[in-house]
Amino acid sequence: MGKQLVMVVSALCALTGVVSAADDSARQSAVPAKVKRYGKVIGVKKEKLEEYKRLHANVWPEVNAMIRACNMRNFTIFLRKLPDGKHYLFMYFEYTGNDLEADSKKMAADPTTQRWWKLTDPCQEPLPDRKPGDWWADMEELCHND
């Protein structure tokens, strides 16, 4: 009876995804770091607004593929005109990798991404208070609810 019970429990564990501590430990080393959410903001030049919208209506597939290859998921850009009369872009993405700096360098080195940025960057107006070396200004996450 004991051997049959072990076989039944093992089968149930396999079906439900329950693993032993040793199996779980091995799996953990292959699991990416916890998802981290990022929000960023940048201005859009009034005279370039329609061009920016047109470009993002048909993002190049290679650009989208590079975003995914750099462990960014749920990548979204929102547009809003604020009471100051200026338009702003709000970027949101979830990072699932283990080294955002390395993934960002990988993206920046990609020739297709560089060509894309040559089209989009002239449309954007970075905020004067962003961190040195940044193009988009970071936003502080205040609240999250899954």
Q: Are residues 72 and 134 in the same domain?
A: yes
Amino acid found at 38: Y
Q: How far apart are alpha carbons 14 and 30 in whole angstroms?
A: 19
- What pTM was computed for the model? 0.74
Distances (CA, A) of 124 to 1, 40, 46, 86, 141: 71, 13, 9, 12, 23
With bands split at pLDDT 50, 70 and 90, how would you rate the model's confidence at 145?
confident
Question: 12-23 as b/e, with b when 16 or more CB fall inside 10 Å?
Answer: eeeeeeeeeeee
Q: Which two tokens stand for residue 113?
A: 């991404």
What integer best gives the mean pLDDT of the chain?
84
Residue 146 has a pLDDT of 82
Residue 33 has a pLDDT of 60
Q: Are residues 46 and 95 in the same domain?
A: yes
Q: Are residues 27 and 79 in the same domain?
A: no
Each residue of 13-55: pLDDT tens digit?
A: 444 344 444 444 444 445 556 899 999 999 999 999 999 999 9
Q: Has residue 67 been placed in a domain?
A: yes
Q: Has residue 145 been placed in a domain?
A: no
Q: How far apart are alpha carbons 123 and 120 in whole angstroms?
A: 5
Give the CATH number of the domain where residue 83 resides. 3.30.70.100
Domain carrying residue 110:
36-139
Domain count, the chain: 2
Compute the average pLDDT of residues 55-67. Answer: 97
Residue 103 has a pLDDT of 97
| In the predicted structure, residue 89 carries a pLDDT above the cut 50 | yes
> For the ranges 16-20, 95-99, 122-126, which has the lowest average pLDDT?
16-20
With bands split at pLDDT 50, 70 and 90, how would you rate the model's confidence at 74?
very high
